[in-house]
């Protein structure tokens, strides 16, 4: 197989795209990072607090579906679409500063999710126009940018712990505006146009009957069941551990930042491993690690501090390290004419699952009398996901993965 040549300027373009993704993704968990203050100041219940995060998830799912149904990334130039979406996300995020009350805040978070759907998936396509060789590593770095950006509000809160919660909203809004400037002024599309990613409902049934694609999707669904619920509620877990006298890294917000941001390393490791040992082994291994951490972290809730920190960081690395590989697997297993449909179906169902998982977690915490053992509810996700990917590995169709690396 002929290896395509590198494209001049591709790594500079990737660095700019990743920087833009980091800035825009600060909006995703900006409300989650200040949830303790919002619960106090707005007199929110635990269920209402969960909907401030879930509204973003729902907005993202519906926004991604709508964009694919109307071929928005094909109608509008990618950089223009991303720039407009980032500006919309910044505006919706800034609405929190007006303290619009619970209904207004949920609406604003929903719009934030819709806007991010117009920014993040097109950014992946934009990256692909620059990379024919090394696309796996580039995808891992891009997912790393998403991970780092998602963790930044916790850092803003930790550094501004003596200041009002509005500082976090202002910082994430400014970061998203900076992202819009990067995509609007500094980034161009690469020389290799990315194929259409359209949603064809008539092909959904055929895709669901495609067993290799179904198993890759099952792996992704198990991964998503765990990922966003952990990201959304780890601050609550860290705060409960802090109250119990176990506080790694000085504060719950800094603890949450370190854990979520550690996933950047996982994205790079996952990308490198998948090219060496195969997508199925990489994803199953990552989910085995993350599931083990979900099982064990409750035992370290009361200390020692170093053990709690170690388990949490390993979890942060492994929980996201396999993320890019599920999408890559579907592009290799699905009918090439309907890759867009396959990816849209995968992402839409995956993020829809996160809505239920995020909603469920505080109810589990109440049922179990606190957050110490609440993450056990996430364990079925990586168990089912690892089983699906190992089952896929035994199928002859798995030879199409990563140029024969299963």
Buried b (16+ CB within 10 A) or exposed e, 61-73: bbbbbebbeeebb
Per-residue pLDDT for the chain (406 aa), expressed as one digit of tens each?
444 555 668 889 999 999 999 999 999 999 999 999 999 999 988 888 889 989 999 999 898 888 777 767 667 788 999 999 999 999 999 999 999 889 999 999 999 999 998 888 888 778 877 876 666 678 788 888 999 999 999 999 999 877 899 999 999 999 999 999 999 999 988 887 655 556 666 666 777 778 888 898 999 999 999 999 999 999 999 999 999 888 899 899 999 999 999 999 998 888 888 878 888 889 999 999 999 999 999 999 998 999 999 999 999 999 999 888 887 787 778 776 666 677 777 888 888 899 999 999 999 999 999 999 999 999 999 999 999 999 988 888 767 676 556 5
* Joined tokens for residue 255: 């603890």
* Joined tokens for residue 71: 């071929």
pLDDT of residue 50: 87
The domain locations on the chain are 12-188, 202-406
pLDDT of residue 345: 77
Q: Are 39 and 49 in contact (CB under 8 A)?
A: yes
| Domains 12-188 and 202-406 alike in fold | yes
Buried b (16+ CB within 10 A) or exposed e, 257-289: bbbbbbbbbbbbbbbebbbeebbbbbbbbbbbb
pLDDT of residue 199: 63
Q: Are 313 and 259 in contact (CB under 8 A)?
A: yes
pLDDT of residue 173: 97
- Say which residue the tokens 């992202």 belong to: 179
Cα dihedral angle (126, 19, 187, 190), rounded to 10 degrees?
-40
In degrees, to the nearest 5, what angle opens at C-alpha 331 toward C-alphas 215 and 278?
65
**Domain 202-406, CATH among 1.10.10.10, 1.20.1250.20, 1.10.3720.10, 3.50.30.30:** 1.20.1250.20
For residue 177, which of 128, 122, 115 has the smallest C-alpha distance? 115
pLDDT of residue 133: 66
Helices (H), 70-134: 72-75, 78-94, 101-117, 120-128
Q: Are 406 and 398 in contact (CB under 8 A)?
A: yes
Burial of 202 (0-12, 13-18, 19+ CB in 10 A): exposed
Fold type of domain 12-188: Growth Hormone; Chain: A; (1.20.1250)
Q: Are 312 and 259 in contact (CB under 8 A)?
A: yes
Task: Note the pTM of the prediction, 2 decimals.
Answer: 0.85
Rounded to an integer, what distance in angstroms lies between the CA atom of residue 372 and that of residue 376? 9
Entry field: residues in the chain: 406
pLDDT of residue 387: 96
Contacts of 26 (CB under 8 A, 6+ apart): 149, 150, 152, 153, 156, 171, 172, 175, 176
**Does residue 28 sit in helix, strand or coil?**
coil
Rounded to an integer, what distance in angstroms lies between the CA atom of residue 148 and that of residue 373? 26
Report the phi/psi class of residue 352: left, alpha or beta, with left for phi > 0 and alpha for psi in -120 to 50.
alpha
């Amino acid at each position: 197989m002929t290896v395509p040549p590198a494209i001049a300027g591709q790594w500079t373009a990737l660095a700019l795209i990743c920087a833009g993704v980091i800035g825009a993704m600060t909006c995703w968990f900006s409300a989650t990072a200040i949830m303790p203050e919002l619960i106090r100041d707005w007199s929110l219940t635990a269920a209402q607090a969960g909907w401030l995060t879930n509204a973003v998830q729902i907005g993202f799912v519906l926004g991604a579906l709508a964009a694919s149904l109307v071929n928005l990334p094909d109608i509008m130039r990618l950089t223009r679409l991303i720039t407009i979406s980032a500006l919309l996300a910044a505006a919706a995020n800034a609405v929190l500063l007006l303290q619009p009350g619970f209904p207004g805040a949920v609406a604003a978070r929903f719009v934030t999710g819709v806007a991010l759907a117009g920014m993040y998936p097109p950014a992946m396509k934009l990256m692909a126009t620059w990379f024919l060789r090394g696309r796996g590593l580039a995808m891992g770095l891009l997912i790393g940018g998403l991970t780092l950006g998602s963790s930044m509000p916790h850092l803003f809160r930790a550094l501004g712990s003596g200041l009002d919660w509005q500082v976090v909203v202002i910082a994430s809004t400014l970061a998203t505006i900076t992202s819009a400037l990067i995509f609007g002024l500094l980034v161009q599309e690469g020389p290799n146009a990315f194929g259409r990613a359209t949603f064809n409902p008539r092909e959904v049934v055929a895709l669901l009957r495609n067993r290799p694609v179904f198993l890759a999707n099952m792996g992704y669904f198990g991964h998503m069941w765990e990922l966003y619920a952990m990201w959304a509620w780890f601050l609550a877990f860290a705060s409960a551990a802090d109250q119990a006298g176990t506080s790694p890294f000085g504060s719950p917000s800094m603890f949450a930042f370190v854990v979520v941001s550690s996933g950047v390393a996982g994205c790079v490791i996952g990308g490198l491993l998948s090219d060496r040992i195969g997508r199925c082994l990489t994803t199953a291994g990552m989910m085995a690690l993350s599931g083990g951490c979900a099982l064990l972290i409750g035992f370290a809730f009361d200390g020692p501090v170093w053990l709690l920190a170690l388990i949490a960081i390993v979890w942060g690395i492994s929980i996201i390290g396999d993320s890019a590989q599920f999408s890559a697997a579907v592009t290799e297993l699905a009918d090439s004419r309907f890759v867009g449909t396959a990816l849209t179906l995968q992402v839409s169902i995956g993020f829809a699952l996160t809505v239920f998982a995020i909603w469920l977690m505080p109810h589990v915490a109440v049922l179990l009398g606190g957050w110490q053992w609440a993450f056990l509810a996430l364990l079925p996700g990586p168990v089912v996901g690892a089983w699906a990917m190992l089952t896929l590995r035994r199928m002859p169709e798995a030879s199409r993965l990563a140029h024969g690396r299963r």
